[in-house]
């Protein structure tokens, strides 16, 4: 996935994932957590199977909506976005100060 999205090896994949992909992974993890407690699942194999099932189910749901996670373009690099926001914030503060 990192290769497909051209994510540098040293950077987390999540910094480039589209929001819908992050939310889908989050939903699958929450369903796993809920079902693990509800069904008193114990042991790595049972919980892993539940997790895989939930990821597949969420992926199927996305597919029914015409969304293919692997076909989505990467989001803007979160670190670049943060730098731009900080820079723009400083510029706004400077412009505001100069107008006073």
pLDDT tens digit sequence for 52-64 = 999 999 999 999 9
Residue 94 confidence (pLDDT)? 81
Q: What is the DSSP letter of 67?
A: -
**pTM attached to this predicted model:** 0.70
Residues 6+ apart with CB under 8 A from 21: 69, 72
pLDDT (tens digit per residue) in 2-43? 888 888 888 888 888 899 999 999 999 999 999 999 999 999
């Amino acid at each position: 996935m990192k290769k497909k999205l051209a994510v540098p090896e040293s950077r987390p994949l999540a910094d480039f994932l589209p929001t819908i992909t992050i939310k889908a992974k989050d939903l699958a993890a929450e369903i796993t957590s809920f079902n693990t407690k509800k069904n008193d699942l114990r042991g790595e194999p049972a919980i892993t199977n539940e997790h895989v099932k939930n990821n597949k189910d969420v992926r199927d749901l996305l597919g029914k909506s015409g969304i293919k996670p692997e076909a989505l373009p990467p989001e803007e690099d979160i670190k670049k976005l943060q730098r731009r926001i900080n820079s723009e914030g400083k510029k706004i503060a400077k412009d505001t100060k100069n107008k006073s």
